[in-house]
Structure 1
Amino acid sequence: MFSRSLLLLQLLIFIGISISGCFGGSEKPKVPKKLTVGVVNYGQTKLSQQQYNRFKTYLSTKTQSVVDIEPTYNELRAIRQIRSRNWDMVFAPPGLAAIAIGKKRYEAIFSMAEVSSVQTPLIIVRDDSPIQKISDLANKTIALGQKGSAAGYYVPLYDLFGLTLKEINFASTPKKLMELISQGTVDAGAISKKNFERYRQVKPKTNFRIIHEGRYIPSGVVLLAPTVERNREQQIRRAMEQAPAHITADAGYVPSATIPNYKQFIKLVEKVRPLEQRVEETPAVLLYPTESTAANE
């Protein structure tokens, strides 16, 4: 009886060891989660990759994630990525942030805290243009930025409300917009003060003049998608809060800065949305559809 019990025990031990040997070594290592970070950088994809290299390495290490930086050269492409929630994190300029927060439930976690004056939206003309003020743009051609741009699209449309424009052209980048004005293709263009200062030396050399300054625009923000898990969100926040100064400077966010309130700016964007069906028309009558119909009767 004892020998049978011993034999059974040995058999069970052998089976246990065999199973352990078969399955213990075949356990797959955990695959790091991917974190896709969207960046808007006007036509400078290579520069964006270089600029965010140290941030990418740092965040990968701290969160044990595969961080992928995905630059896009204008807000229109960025809107598509946000609508499909392909981006887990976004370094978002103001217009894009308003859409992502207001419609797609992205959450602002850090301010990009630029000096407020550089976010001022401008309408500019060539210095030799007879146009002096915004009302002089009636029946003229103007260039706007892509949909999603705060200074190049939403704020100027709000300020141009009530005018009938000969035509509205759309420039893929601020540099292209200034070239259109320089070449005389359009009479005026809408651009942020920051980009105006950056691209004003377009070729051939042209002198430009500001005819209108728009309202204050909040600073850009770093956003997280609603699809990011809560524990992971806290891990990302903590890592970015504790990042060294050279990392935050590279990425362009300020951990200590107050996150701007976007409620009023989101309301402005919502007021402009009914005008969007008018911007493709020639002429472009910038009235709400019912008002435009009444004016033509």
Structure 2
Amino acid sequence: MRRHTITAGILGLTALVAVTGCQATSTDTDESAAVIKIATTPLGDDPTQANPIESLASLLETETGRAVDIVDVPDYLSVVEAIRSDHVDFGIMSGFPSALAVSTGEVDALMAWRGDGAPVSTCVVLDDSPVQALDDLRDGTVAFADQASSSGYFMPVYMLHEAGLEQNDDYEVIFAGGHEGSFAALEQGQVDAACTAIMLTELGAPMFPFEDGEWRGVGESPSMPIAGAVLARPSLDEDTRALLQQTLPRVFSEENADALGALGSGFVGREAIMDPAGSEFQSFVDIAAVAGVELEDLD
């Protein structure tokens, strides 16, 4: 297993090379022995804890019999760009960035996991905060994880919209670069609330830094019809594509739930859909439109 990082700038250069037709792909090698490359955003940086990304790579190596490379990129949009530019073989993302990527027509949706009908997001405030309801965030400052995050942006923005609050008009928006950054901003008093995944608040440390009695959740968003998806480069060879569809459901199984931690908690035990059609993601476009967010703005 190897791990390396690429920046947004390098991704832009990679995309340019791919457009000019000069980039080599794994079709230039023996596909049966090709290294599988996964694009991921940072997750689980606590050195005292097993990293779920590395656990995923190890499990996938065992199931496929192939070496796996982890390619760290800064955010969800960079995962999409890494796939579109043939820099990696696949990435695993939540509903909204998956809908964005599928809408471009430049990625291949290998599989998706259905949602479980439970609320996705909440806005976390410190326990001594005067904020008791979503409307109390009017004229306040709210931290979001990433402008392409399902649980850390899209769903809470929709939730706030339904409560009569519009971003930038009724409250100030801060993008913290990730859920961890949102929590840090709240802890340091830089924002009134940090909107995040309910799942993270349930996982506790190290994914969620607040102890019981230090925080409260204000509001709950609706559920998502699709919890997440596996998106691959269209140029991926059929053997590798089929291999991933066979092995990923085994990787994301109950027996691996502890090893996968936060990465698997949104997918393990969910119904898997193979080759999901674009229509499976249409509700995300509808939710974004109601919230005044256009998916194409994130290109």
How does the TM-score come out when normalised to structure 2?
0.66
Opposite residue 226 of structure 1, the aligned amino acid is P
Say yes or no: does 1:265 pair with 2:254: no
**Cα 1:158–1:102 shift into 2, 3 Å:** same
Alignment of 1:94-173 (within 5 A): 94-112=95-113, 116-117=117-118, 120-161=120-161, 162-163=165-166, 164-173=169-178
Question: Which whole-Å deviations, capped at 9, do the CAs of 1:166-215 have from their partners, x for residues lacking one?
Answer: 52111123222122222221011210101123357636986222221111
Which deviates the most, 147-156 or 67-76? Answer: 67-76
SS of 2:148's equivalent? Answer: coil
Moved more, 145-154 or 73-82: 73-82
Q: How many residues align?
A: 245
Are the counterparts in 2 of residues 143 and 190 from structure 1 also a CA contact under 8 Å?
A: yes
Instruction: Please say if residues 133 and 219 of structure 2, whose CA atoms lie closer than 8 Å, have aligned partners that are also in contact.
Output: yes
Report matched runs for 1:69-80 at 5 Å: 69-72=70-73, 74-80=75-81
Which amino acid counterpart does residue 236 of structure 1 have in structure 2?
L
Secondary structure class of the residue paired with 2:102: helix
SS of the aligned residue for 1:262 comes to helix
More helix by share: 1
RMSD of aligned alpha carbons: 3.7
Supply the distance in 2 between the matched residues of 1:205 and 1:241 (Cα, whole angstroms). 34
> Could you tell me whether the CA contact under 8 Å between 1:55 and 1:247 is conserved in 2?
no
Contact 2:254–2:268, Cα closer than 8 Å, also in 1:
no
Which structure would you say has the larger Rg?
A: 1
2:220 matched to which residue of 1? 213
Larger CA deviation: 240-249 vs 30-39: 240-249
How far off is 1:74 after superposition?
A: 4.0
Q: Quick check: 1:179 aligned with 2:198?
A: no
The question of whether the paired residues in 1 share the 8 Å contact of 2:120 and 2:220 is answered with: yes
Counterpart secondary structure, 2:40: strand
Counterpart of 2:194 in structure 1 is 189
For 2:293, the aligned partner's letter is R
Q: Deviations over 1:51-99 (max 9, x none)?
A: 12432323552xxx54322244643443442443433221222232222
Q: Could you tell me whether the CA contact under 8 Å between 2:145 and 2:196 is conserved in 1?
A: yes
Opposite residue 267 of structure 1, the aligned amino acid is D
Alignment CA distance shift 1:276-1:182 (3 Å): farther
> Which stretch shows the higher mean deviation, 132-141 or 226-235?
226-235
User: Equivalent residue of 2:219, what SS?
Assistant: strand
Q: Check the 8 A contact 1:145/1:171 in 2, yes or no.
A: yes
2:59 maps to which of 49, 55, 59: 55
The answer (yes or no) to whether the contact 1:121–1:191 under 8 Å persists in 2 is yes
Identity of aligned residues (%): 21
Deviations 1:246-271 (A, max 9, x none): 88655646598242832212332355
Structure 2 contact 125–215 (Cα < 8 Å) conserved:
yes
Could you say which residue in structure 2 is the equivalent of 1:44? 45
Instruction: Give the superposition deviation at 1:159.
Output: 3.2
Q: 2: distance between equivalents of 1:273 and 1:75? A: 17
Residue 228 of structure 1 corresponds to 236
Q: Which digits, 9 at most, give the CA deviation of each residue in 1:127-186, with x for residues without a partner?
A: 222222222222111111112110111122233345324521111232221222222210
Matched residue type, 1:44: D
Structure 2 CA distance for partners of 1:240 and 1:134, relative to 1, 3 Å: closer
Please give the TM-score of this superposition, normalised by the length of structure 1: 0.66
